[in-house]
Amino acid sequence: MTTAVKDMLDTYPAHLGSVDRDKLAHCIEECIACAQACTACADACMSEDTVNELTKCIRTNVDCADICNATASVLSRHTGYDANITRAILQACATVCKACGDECASHADQHEHCRVCAEACRRCEQACNDLITSLG
């Protein structure tokens, strides 16, 4: 399936080196999807009657969305590529996705939006870890 992310990677005029294009595209897409899910989950949490009990979830969602958006942006730039920076932001993203996934999972039995968000976080965490592994 072709996506805008894959199309943009295909149009990049220089060689991407040894980076696995499929894993890179998948990771960018998962970061974007996770950021959206976290933003929507935080908003949904603020609409719940039990909003006071969801403060940590909201904060974790917002932090995760910010880091996922930043990660997608860094991964989308290739000129002057620095593997150390890429590895560091991927590790940060995997870490925040795990924390957010765990937090949302703890509310998943009461709030469906938390269940959906936890799943998005788990997919993004896995995509980040897969890309880290492929960087060598």
pLDDT digits (tens, 9 = 90+) for 81-132: 788 999 999 999 999 999 999 999 999 999 999 999 999 999 999 999 999 9
* Distinct helix (H) and strand (E) counts, the chain: 5, 0
Choose among 45, 23, 56, 50: nearest CA to 113. Answer: 45
pLDDT digits (tens, 9 = 90+) for 43-90: 999 999 999 999 999 999 999 999 999 999 999 998 877 889 999 999
Q: Which domains does the chain have, with CATH numbers?
A: 20-135 (1.20.1270.360)
Distance between CA atoms of residues 79 and 96, nearest Å:
26
pLDDT digits (tens, 9 = 90+) for 11-49: 887 777 778 889 999 999 999 999 999 999 999 999 999
Torsion of CA 62, 68, 127, 26, to 10 degrees: 130
pLDDT of residue 136: 65
pTM of the model: 0.94
Q: Give the other-Cβ count within 10 Å of 16's Cβ.
A: 12
Torsion of CA 118, 23, 74, 3, to 10 degrees: -90
